[in-house]
Amino acid sequence: MKLRHLQATACVAMTLVSMVPPQVAAAQQQQQSTAAPQAQQPAEGQVSATQPAAPQAVQNDTTGNPALPQAPAPKPTEPLYLRPTATDYTGSARLFPNPVHLWTPREYPAPRLSNTPRLDDLLKDGKIYLSLSDAVTLALENNYDIAIARINLDIADTDILRAKAGSTLRGVSTGVVTNTLGGTTSTITGGGGPGGTTSAAGGSGAGSSGLVLSTNGGGPLPENMDPFLTGTLEYEHAKTQSSSLFAAPTSTTSTFLGNFNYVQGFSTGTALNIGFDNNRTNVTVPAQYASQNYNSLTPALNASLTATVTQHVLQGCCIWLNRRFIVQAKNNRRITDSAFRQQLIYTVGQVESIYWALVSAYEDEQAKERALQQSTQLASDNRKQLQIGTLAPLDVVNSDAAVATDQQSLITSRSNLEYQKLLMKQAIPAT
């Protein structure tokens, strides 16, 4: 009975489906197809497993309170062309260059070995009243380590000028002058004198070429891009006696020679050579022999102009190859700027360490003086109590020992304070 009931139900359902119009069936299928993607989309606030999450801005809290304005993002230091002197040693082109100035020597200003007037303003009654900002300012003006780093900037400029002429680089030091006495420790056993760098002594770089190491000079050398002009002027006046009976007994020969040559290379690998040669010869004889047929009596002038252009096709061709030293020299110049900034930062850090070591030594000396005063007063009180008979003699001995210990500590503290003063005078420096 149950089987027959199920068969009847299936027949009724099939009959109802067959009675649905085709348009209604298509609409239902379309609704089901559009509803399927909507069902696949996650609800608001949920994360899809197949789609990446939207990027969100990351806000770093630099103040401890998100409601306050945050600190700006750090900006990296960009290399600049710092110039310690008014002279540009890179040889920048001028509108009307002085050709004589190219061969005149240049005098580099000597380093200043005296202190700036700022130090005299801080000196009162034989004492220097020094704050931290004054110490840093005096170090920037008078410190010899920074003076060494300033010279490296001009040395890097001369390397750029040398590269523009088509020559190889000599290199420049980028070592930071470190180990200033007292900059890293408060004891006399640490540190060294100014002038020693992280790579070599005296402010020099590692090796004879500084930054220019194993890759320097690789490949064909560029042409000499500096114009090279040579000239030769000669004049000769000679009187010769003839050995022939059929010729004039004497003859005078005047010879003038004027040769000029111009050579210049270009960054494309082209070499230009222009030569202009002149030779004038004049032979004269006495007047009585002038009517004879002498070919040499007529002045002879020989002149020639030669222009040669040479272009490298494979080896030594193209701008990017012949200007590689210029690019390297400019990069070295930027590195030298960064090294100079590093030297400033390091020197300022050393001066601050020396300054706070001086402050610490001064406070330690004051504390030792107060401790000595207290122990001395205690020893004096103990002696009075000993005279009265209310204190044992052993306590007086102990108080006297404490006074001796405090005196020894005060002497050590004063010695350390004097030493820190000397370190500060050396770092400022005070000559």
CA distances from 66 to 55, 59, 74, 75, 309 (A): 20, 9, 19, 22, 71
Q: What is the pLDDT of residue 185?
A: 53
Cβ(161)–Cβ(384) under 8 Å?
A: no
Cβ(161)–Cβ(91) under 8 Å?
A: yes
**pLDDT range class, residue 60, cuts 50, 70, 90:** low
Q: What is the pLDDT of residue 413?
A: 93
The pTM score is 0.62
Least confident of 24-28, 220-224, 405-409: 24-28
Residue of 304, 323, 190 whose CA lies nearest to 257: 304
CA angle 319, 322, 323 (to 5 degrees): 80
Q: What is the pLDDT of residue 310?
A: 93
Q: What is the pLDDT of residue 216?
A: 59
Question: Which contiguous run of DSSP H or E holds residue 232?
Answer: strand 228-241
Neighbouring C-beta atoms of residue 306, cutoff 10 Å: 10
**pLDDT range class, residue 109, cuts 50, 70, 90:** confident
Percent of the chain with pLDDT over 90: 19
Question: What is the pLDDT averaged over residues 91-115?
Answer: 74
> Could you give the dihedral angle defined by the CA atoms of residues 9, 15, 18 and 21, in that order, rounded to the nearest 10 degrees?
-100
Question: Does residue 362 carry a pLDDT above 80?
Answer: yes
Residue of 349, 423, 356, 328 whose CA lies nearest to 177: 349
Q: What is the pLDDT of residue 172?
A: 84
Q: What is the pLDDT of residue 209?
A: 45
Q: What is the pLDDT of residue 275?
A: 95
